[in-house]
Amino acid sequence: MADNSFSDGVPSDSLEAAKNASNTEKLADQVMQNPQVLAALQERLDSVSHTPSSYIETLPKAVKRRINALKQLQVKCAHIEAKFYEEVHDLERKYAALYQPLFDKRREFITGDAEPTDAESEWHSENEEEDKLAGDIKNKAVITEKEAAAAEEPNPKGIPEFWFTIFRNVDMLSELVQEYDEPILKHLQDIKVKFSDPGQPMSFVLEFHFEPNDYFTNSVLTKTYKMKSEPDKADPFSFEGPEIVDCDGCTIDWKKGKNVTVKTIKKKQKHKGRGTVRTITKQVPNDSFFNFFNPLKASGDGESLDEDSEFTLASDFEIGHFFRERIVPRAVLYFTGEAIEDDDNFEEGEEGEEEELEGDEEGEDEDDAEINPKVRWNPIRP
């Protein structure tokens, strides 16, 4: 008869636990003998051990202390850089005053208030020789018709629809323009950039000057962009230069029935008790470029905006920056399309770089990307 004295004295659940532990050890041994599992574990350990933060943690306390001192120096560098950009802003203001007489003359030529002299209107194109040869041949062929054609050729005042044409040519702007915006934008005569006065917080104002029209009584519509050039106290190392942080629009004094930023809809309502039906009308927002002058406000109370609002605000800041840095200084080149070709060529180069780097970026989590409504740029023009 078998001796069960040992098993009789040990609880059954203890025996079960011992068996499970034994099975776990066997399973662990089997797993650790699998070369693929071992390679994966080693790769995981290597990735952890080689991160900068993990390396810093292994350094002696005295070395960490010196690293902290370097960070203090870096913060001071950021504050000096911020001061540099403030002085650059002052320099931009100074040179804006030098540009303005040229922009004023540009407006006069566009509106027809002044006519350029022969010297002012002389321009040599890159294909001047080809153009001259073609012109000579054409002149010889149609010399008898030239005088009659010249007499019939229209001579409109100024450059018709100058700024409206720019809106159509530039994708970023044409996407905002609805069909019912177009007749209004044809009355746009000038766009100016005004910088904040010395000693005032950094900002700039876009001024849209309109001739008298049937849509609103304002002669000027404004959009103010507020900027800052100082490191964030909570994250000073993120400082990369001036950034737009907020913007203000203006009130458009629409003439009766001409407000394109709203539309009137009719809605039927049924009375719960009597069952009668009535039709009511109400105004709802309408897509329009002129919503540009009624922007979202950046959250200043610590509450974060939803993703759609942040995207809208970021797009607004980008458009304001584009007007200031590209459209206003180089308007004629956006009218002719030459600046657009330059922009397209630049973008193609950037896309090429992205394709080359694509392989190195595999595995990155796209969800980690955050929308930042602030727009930063280097204000120093080449």
Phi, psi of 142 (to 5 degrees): -125, 30
- 123 or 138, which is more confident? 123
Mean pLDDT of 163-177: 97
Per-residue pLDDT, 145 = 59
Q: What is the DSSP string of 289-358?
A: GGGGGSPPPPP-SSPPPPHHHHHHHHHHHHHHHHIIIIITTTHHHHHHTHHHHHHHHHHHHHHHHHHHHG
Among residues 169, 215, 188, which one has the least CA distance to residue 342? 169
pLDDT for 370 beyond 90: no
Tens digit of each residue's pLDDT (9 = 90 or more) over 283-323 = 899 999 999 999 988 766 556 777 888 898 899 999 999 99
pLDDT for 329 beyond 90: yes
Sign of CA dihedral 303, 304, 309, 315: positive
pLDDT for 360 beyond 50: no
CATH of region 61-116+157-249+295-348: 3.30.1120.90
Among residues of the chain, what percentage have pLDDT more than 70?
69
Mean pLDDT of 225-236: 88
Under the banding of pLDDT at 50, 70 and 90, the label for residue 235 is confident
pLDDT for 186 beyond 60: yes
Per-residue pLDDT, 365 = 46
The overall average pLDDT reported for the chain is 81
> Which residue ranges make up each domain of the chain?
61-116+157-249+295-348
Residue with tokens 């409504």: 373
Sheet of 220-228: strand order equals 188-195, 203-210, 220-228, 243-248, 375-376
Tens digit of each residue's pLDDT (9 = 90 or more) over 100-131 = 999 999 999 999 999 999 999 998 876 665 56
